[in-house]
Amino acid sequence: MGFWDGKRVLVTGGNGFLGKELVKQLETKTPKEIRTPRSSELDLRLRENCEKAVKGVDVVIHLAAKVGGIGFNRARPGELFYDNAIMGIQLMEEARKAGVQKFVAVGTVCAYPKYTPVPFKEEDLWNGYPEETNAPYGLAKKMLLVQAQAYRQQYGFDAIYLLPVNLYGPGDNFDLESSHVIPALIRKMVEAKELDMPYIEVWGDGSPTREFLYVSDAARGILEATEKYSSPEPVNLGSGEEISIKELTETIAKIVGFKGEICWDTSKPNGQPKRQLDTSRAWQEFGFRAQTSLPEGLRNTISWYISKGR
């Protein structure tokens, strides 16, 4: 029998950006059942809803999160800490009590310390405090690693913890109030081109570097880890490609065809100075490597946004 045969799978956040892609890929593996409750149906901040969600489930893939870009993180640090921590902690506890066979906690690159040697190695995760603007979110998600390791030690609970880098792709969140850098830049560039605007403004000075993982690669990596990985150690999921925000902005402008000026608002924060993951553990442990290059992924995402995303 294959891993997924006869399995009932709960995917929290299964109607979100990453969740929809993961569920689409999971359907090809034909498990017995896939549950994707919406937050309007089951608010996982309430313990009794976590209990309902995991009843009769074999595998939990916990993607649900309250998340956003730098502006959103600065405006709502309390919500981001409480909502993300309480959802994950209660869900894992109820899953353990219900006899769930496998729990996959999907964390965030924001859990890493602000000044981490590049590329980020999993063993550096505790060597400092996260970048201030996203620390409440990053630490809330990081607590699930502590919980997973503690539950494995005390209860023999098969919980794993994955650290995906910033995701992007078709179906992303393009709301400028809460979006991450790639969808925000795409929307700004497309609208500026259509309105023939002479310039756009971008936060910071363009110097920070980032790594991005295409959404279909991320979903594949999570499913491969679910099938093949069972260990207390966290695992990075990334592409291995690093790019500065300045170069990223210029690349998107070129693909979109925006020829106006790019004005850098240095009164706004840069966020973490550098962000790139060491992805060797994912390759060694369950054979995962990203397949989509950044230029290809950007072209796909821009095409999707222009045709369907508005």
SS3 105: strand
* Tokens 């996959």 sit on residue: 104
Distance of CA 298 to CAs 14, 75, 292, Å?
23, 28, 10
Residue 181 has phi, psi (to 5 degrees) of -65, -45
Residues 6+ apart with CB under 8 A from 95: 54, 57, 60, 103, 157
Cα separation, 9 vs 16, in Å, equals 16
Q: Which of 112, 137, 214, 229 is catalytic?
A: 137
Could you confirm whether 137 is annotated as catalytic?
Answer: yes
Cα separation, 130 vs 310, in Å, equals 34
Contact 138, 130 (CB under 8 A): yes
Q: What angle do helix axes 294-308 and 245-256 make, rounded to 10 degrees?
A: 50
Strand partners, 130: 113
**Residue positions annotated with a catalytic role:** 137
